[in-house]
Each structure stands twice: as structure tokens, then as C-alpha cells.
Amino acid sequence: MRAVVAIAVNVFRESVRDKVLYNLVLFAVVMIGASYLIGQLTAGQDVKIIKDLGLAAISVFGLFIAVFIGIGLVSKEVDRRSIYSLLAKPIHRPQFVLGKYCGLTLTLAVNVAVMAAALYAVLFYMSWGVSATTAQSWDAPALDPALLEAVALIFVELMLVTAIALFFSTFSTPMLSAAFTFGLFIVGHFSSDLRNFQDAVDSPAAARVARGLYWVLPNLAQFDIKADVVHGQPVPVGYMAVTVGYAACYIAMLLVISMFVFARRDFK
Amino acid sequence: MSRAIGIIVVALSLLACAVQLQATRERLFPPSAGDADAMYLRSAETLRRLSGAYTVLAADGYWIRALQYYGGTKQRLQAQTWVPEPPPMLAVPTSDDFSLLYPMLDLATSLDPRFTIAYRFGAVFLAEAYPRGAGRPDLAVALLEKGVRAQPDKWEYMEDIGFVHYWYVHNYRAAAGWFQKAGEVPGAPWWLRSLAATTLAQGGDRQSSRVMWEAIRQSAAIDWLRQDAERRLLQLKALDDIDNLQQGVDAFVRTAGHPPADWLTLVRARMVAGIPLDPTRQPYELTAQGRVRLAASSPLAPLPEEPRQIGAPEAPPH
């Protein structure tokens, strides 16, 4: 366990050294700039649009961090040949994979938390001094705590994407890993099309294959509750629990396979 | 250090040159207005697929575009001197100046079916008389009906449909039907049912119009809509004033046998207290035929084609 923590902390430090946290500055600039511009453009919908934009930005920034750091977690160590000195220490290969995953998850957690705080700060600024009539016309209050539900599921989705990127990085090149991960991210958001494939094709075999893929591929669409939260629609606790449980199982499965593949990999 | 400063200076100079050239190109070859208004994608399904997990953000983008398009087109039309007066009934065929407005609003509401403001304001933009709006109450109703399909318990959309039928189309039976439907939704204000009954029995009347515009003014979340509602309420006040003044003028004609030459004649005859002013402090005009009307220069001009009571004679133009 200590080895896993040490590797995780090291990954976090490395990402800080790699100036990954600079994206927070970019996020802040985007949000502050948008809050000013959107206030001029949106005819009273500035709070709704800031929420949409903020949640989308958290998701996009997090996705880029998860993919571009995730795909390099293993390959960088191999390219630098630092993997040899690492594995010569009393560290098991599964611990190495798990530590890398936890480190990137920690980086993402810090990023998402700071971005969420910045989003709330911008929303606070936008709602300051707004009349009661205007506030009543919003679907949900500006500083709605339910936004955290959307942020939480974005974070869980990013954890899953990180596991996918790490999985590919254990046996593939960074370029291919990035392509596969982005591919799965896109497919994961259109999984409902796979479920309804039989409506679009005549072939029962193709429909069965699509149905199988629907169950096997990661269903990322279920993590997207941004629209519900922004419109003040309640998200049941049961939905959150089942979705997080699904992610936990899927992440665990990917990590087990990643550990297995990495354990069998020959670095000679 | 000095080398770095030199590089920064060179880079900034090159950027300044690029900006200058672009400005020159735009001056010599101005971009056509139509370029900015193009809509390359009109299929909500395609856009939904392209935007993936970010459909509501794409909806926001189309809503902002619709606002810009509406505002830009309206400004352009108002700057043109040949713009025609609003038609008496907005259901008449109008220019295609606002032709992209409905597709933009349709996309925004397809990408985010709960985008309340896009339905409600969008309907106002569509229903308003040309050139203040698209002059297409039929499309306004279509947009709001789409909203009702997406959120069947949203009485505000039903109220808005009724309002479009009442104020813009003067179809009182349809208006009353929608007011009644809205009033039956739990949580809807009580006055919608009485408004439905009044509209069905009497058609249009100024008091009902006032109630509706007052409701819009009180619930308006943005200044633009609130100011528009306030302007409409002032117009209704002006219509009241004109009716009262006309009664005075008619009484003078009956007594004197000819129309008054000017307001001073009526002041001297003690039929009015002074030169009457409209709610924006502009004097009302008195025509040679003895008709009272709003001054053309008044911010309230032109007065709307007012919904009339069922069976009432055609109102003279104000």
C-alpha cells in the first residue's frame, strides 16, 4: 500500500511539474471572460449558460488531462528507461499500475475541485444583486448545490476514462492509446444507438452484435446529468449510486486487465 | 534580454501589420451581410451527434446566435427608411428578413428541449409585427406547441400560445381554449380561467390586454421584455386617453357643428384642461377632420391593432 501511495504522490508531483495545473488558469480566464461576454449576449440566461459552459469546460479540460497524461503514464517510464530502476525496487508491477492510476486520479480530483470552486465563484458574482423576479425565472438557483452532483459524475466519468487510457497505455503506443481512448469516449456517449440498432437494420445478427457491444463497451452517456441539474431536475440518489457502482466495477475490471497485461510485459 | 525584447517588438509589429491589412481588406472588399447569417447545419439530430455530451452547450450557442440574428436584423431594418409600417394583422405574409430565426430557435430547443427562455422569448421575436419581429405568429405557436410537447405541465407556454392567438392573430376562440388549458394546470394563476371565459364571451377587450401585459411585465426576467411590456401598457393608456379625448371632440362637433381648429379651441371651450399629452409627454394630434391621434414622433407610435370585442365595428386608425 505504501508503494502505491508513493507512486501516486509522485505522479501528482510530476503532473504539477509538467504544468498540468496551468489549465486551471485557462479555465479561470475562460470563465471570467465568458461571464462578462455572456452577460451582454444572452438575454437573462447568463446563469444557465455559465453553468452549461462551466460544466462542459470541467468535462473537456478533465478529459484532456485524463487522456494525454493517462496514455503517457506507462510509456513515459518505458521511453525514459526509468521503468528498470523502478521495477528493481521492492514494487510489484500491479502496485505500479495502481499507483499510477491513483496518482492521475488525485491530479484530476484537485483539478475538478478547483474548477468547481471557480465555477461557483463566477456564479456567485453573476447572481450578486440580481432582482428576485429575475432569480425566480431561473430553473434552479445560481449557487445550486445540485451542481455538485453533475461535477461528481463528471469526475467519476474521468476516472473511467483514465482507466481506459491506462489500459491502452500498458500495451500500445501513446498515439494509438489516445486514438483508442477518444474513440471509446465517443462511442461511450452514443451507446443508446447501439441499444436501438435493431430499429435501423434488418439483420438480426448485426442487431445482436450491436446489442452485445452496448453491454460490453463503457456507457458514458449515463454520467451526463448536466442538463438535468442545470434545469433544476432532481437526480435520484439511487441513480447516482447505481451509476457510480457501474463505474467502480468497470474501472476495477480495466485495472485488473491492465495489471495483468503489464505484469506479463517484457521490457528487454 | 535585449534580443528577447527585439523579438517581441518584431512579433507585435507583424501582428499590427496583419491587423492593418485585414482592416484594409474589409474596407476595400466589405463582407456581405448574408455571409454571417448562413446556417450550415439545420438537422437537430446531426447537431446532437456532433455535439456529443455537450448538446445543451450547443443549444446555448444557437440561442445566442438567434438573439444576435434577431437583434442585428431588427437594427438593420429600423435603420432603413423604407421600412413599411406594421401590417394591421401580423398573420399576413411578410419579408424573409427573419427567415433564419425559426430554424435557429428550433435547433436550440431541439438540442435542449427544456430551454424555457428560447421558447418564450423566441415566440415573442417570431410573433412581433414586421419589422420589430418576424411577423410569423404561426411559427411562434408552433415553437410554443413544441415546448408543450416537451413539458406538458408548463402552463406558461399554454398562456403564451393563448396570448399569441389573442394579441397577434385575434383568434379569440383559440386564445380562450389555450387560456383554459393553462388555467387547468396545477400551479397556474387563478385569473387564467376568468381570462378564458372573458375572451370566449367577449373577444378582445382592453382590460384583458392590460392584465396580460401586466402579467408579462411582472414576470419578465430581462429588461428588454419588461420595457416592451411597459411600452405596451403605455400604448393601452394612450388608447384610453384617445377614446376619452375623442368623446370631448365629438361633443364639441355636436355643439359647434364643425371640428375644432386646434386644442386651444377646446381649452377655451373648457372641454379639456390643457393641451393633452400622451404618457411620454408628447402632445396628442388633432386632425382637421376632428380625429384625435398619437403624434407620429411619439415613442409609442405606431399604436397596435387592438384586439376588439366580438361584433365590434372596425376601429378607426389611430
Q: Is B224 on the interface with A (CB under 8 A)?
A: yes
Q: Is A186 on the interface with B (CB under 8 A)?
A: yes
pLDDT interval class at B94 (50, 70, 90): low
Residues of B in contact with A224 (CB under 8 A): 53
Top pLDDT among B130 and B32 is at B130
Rounded (5°) CA angle B31-B34-B35 = 55
Among B46-55, B83-92, B159-168, B278-287, name the one with the lowest average pLDDT.
B83-92
Q: What percent of chain A is helix, strand and coil (3-state, nearest 5)?
A: 80, 0, 20
> Per-residue DSSP letters for chain B?
-HHHHHHHHHHHHHHHHHHHHHHHHHHHSPPPHHHHT--S---HHHHHHHHGGGHHHHHHHHHHHHHHHHHHHHHHHHH-TTPPPPPSSTTS---STTTTHHHHHHHHHHHSTT-HHHHHHHHHHHHSPTTTS---HHHHHHHHHHHHHH-TT-HHHHHHHHHIIIIII--HHHHHHHHHHHHHSTT--THHHHHHHHHHHHB--HHHHHHHHHHHHHH--SHHHHHHHHHHHHHHHHHHHHHHHHHHHHHHHHHHSS--SSHHHHHHTTSSSSS-B-TTSPBPEE-TTS-EE--TTSTTPSPP----BTTPPPPPP-
| CA–CA distance, B164 with B175 (Å, rounded to integer) | 8
| CA–CA distance, B183 with B164 (Å, rounded to integer) | 16
pLDDT of residue B171: 87
CB–CB contact B64 A227 (8 Å): no
Instruction: Taking residues B78-92, report their average pLDDT.
Output: 53
Exposed/middle/buried for residue A212 (C-beta within 10 Å: 0-12, 13-18, 19+): exposed
CB–CB contact B67 A52 (8 Å): no
Set out the domains of chain B in order of their start, with CATH numbers.
36-228 (1.25.40.10)
Q: Is A221 on the interface with B (CB under 8 A)?
A: yes
CB–CB contact A52 B68 (8 Å): no
| CA–CA distance, B104 with A196 (Å, rounded to integer) | 28
Among A27-36, A59-68, B29-38, B184-193, name the one with the lowest average pLDDT.
B29-38
pLDDT interval class at A163 (50, 70, 90): very high
CA distances from B203 to B39, B197, B207 (A): 40, 10, 11
pLDDT of residue B93: 46
- For residue B311 the three cell numbers come to 361584433
pLDDT at position B92 over 80: no
Of the candidates A265, A266, A254, A264, the one whose C-alpha atom is nearest the C-alpha of residue A70 is A254
Task: Considering only the beta carbons, identify the residue of A52, A59, A190 that sits closest to B60.
Answer: A52
Top pLDDT among B48 and B318 is at B48
Q: Is A195 on the interface with B (CB under 8 A)?
A: no
Nearest residue in A to B60, CA atom: A49
Side-chain-side CA neighbours of B111 within 13 Å: the count stands at: 30
Of the candidates A21, A100, A32, the one whose C-alpha atom is nearest the C-alpha of residue A61 is A21
pLDDT of residue B222: 67
- For residue A260 the three cell numbers come to 495483468
B311: left (phi over 0), alpha (psi -120 to 50) or beta: left
pLDDT of residue B272: 81
Angle of the A237-264 helix axis to the A147-169 helix axis, nearest 10: 20
Q: Is B46 on the interface with A (CB under 8 A)?
A: no
pLDDT interval class at B90 (50, 70, 90): very low
Sign of CA dihedral A23, A26, A32, A33: negative
| CA–CA distance, A237 with A221 (Å, rounded to integer) | 17
The percent of residues above 90 in pLDDT, for chain A, comes to 31
Quickly count: other Cβ atoms within 10 Å of residue A75's Cβ. Answer: 18
Task: Considering only the beta carbons, identify the residue of A49, A59, A139 that sits closest to B60.
Answer: A49
Collect all residues with Cβ–Cβ distance below 8 Å to A28 and sequence separation of at least 6: A118
Residues of B in contact with A38 (CB under 8 A): 64
Mean per-residue pLDDT of chain B: 82
Residues of A in contact with B112 (CB under 8 A): 227
| CA–CA distance, A44 with A136 (Å, rounded to integer) | 12
Mutate: best of A31, A37, A52, partner B, most B CBs <10 A: A52
Asked if residue B189 has a cis previous peptide bond (ω within 30° of 0), the answer is no
**Is the reported ipTM for this assembly greater than 0.85?**
no
Sign of CA dihedral B58, B59, B65, B69: positive
Nearest residue in B to A41, CA atom: B64
pLDDT at position A77 over 50: yes
pLDDT of residue A109: 94
pLDDT at position B249 over 80: yes
pLDDT at position B204 over 80: no
CB–CB contact A186 B52 (8 Å): yes
Nearest CA-CA distance, residue B214 and chain A, Å: 14
CB–CB contact B56 A230 (8 Å): yes
Collect all residues with Cβ–Cβ distance below 8 Å to B234 and sequence separation of at least 6: B278, B279, B280, B300
Collect all residues with Cβ–Cβ distance below 8 Å to A227 and sequence separation of at least 6: A233, B55, B56, B112, B114
Angle of the A72-79 helix axis to the A46-70 helix axis, nearest 10: 30
| CA–CA distance, A50 with A121 (Å, rounded to integer) | 11
Collect all residues with Cβ–Cβ distance below 8 Å to B152 and sequence separation of at least 6: none
CB–CB contact B121 A224 (8 Å): no
Q: Tens digit of pLDDT for each residue in B12-39? A: 998 899 888 888 887 887 766 555 566 6
Mutate: best of A35, A48, A220, partner B, most B CBs <10 A: A48
Most confident of A47-56, A174-183, B18-27: A174-183
Q: Could you tell me which residues are beta bridge partners of residue B277?
A: B283
Q: Tens digit of pLDDT for each residue in A90-144? A: 888 889 899 999 999 999 999 899 889 988 988 888 888 777 777 777 788 888 8
Contact present, B297 and B307 (Cβ < 8 Å): no
- For residue B262 the three cell numbers come to 386646434
Portion 20-59 of A in contact with B at CB < 8 A:
38, 41-45, 48-49, 52-53, 56, 59
Contact present, A133 and B217 (Cβ < 8 Å): no
Nearest CA-CA distance, residue A143 and chain B, Å: 18
Task: Considering only the beta carbons, identify the residue of B55, B114, B222 that sits closest to A44.
Answer: B222
| CA–CA distance, A240 with A227 (Å, rounded to integer) | 15
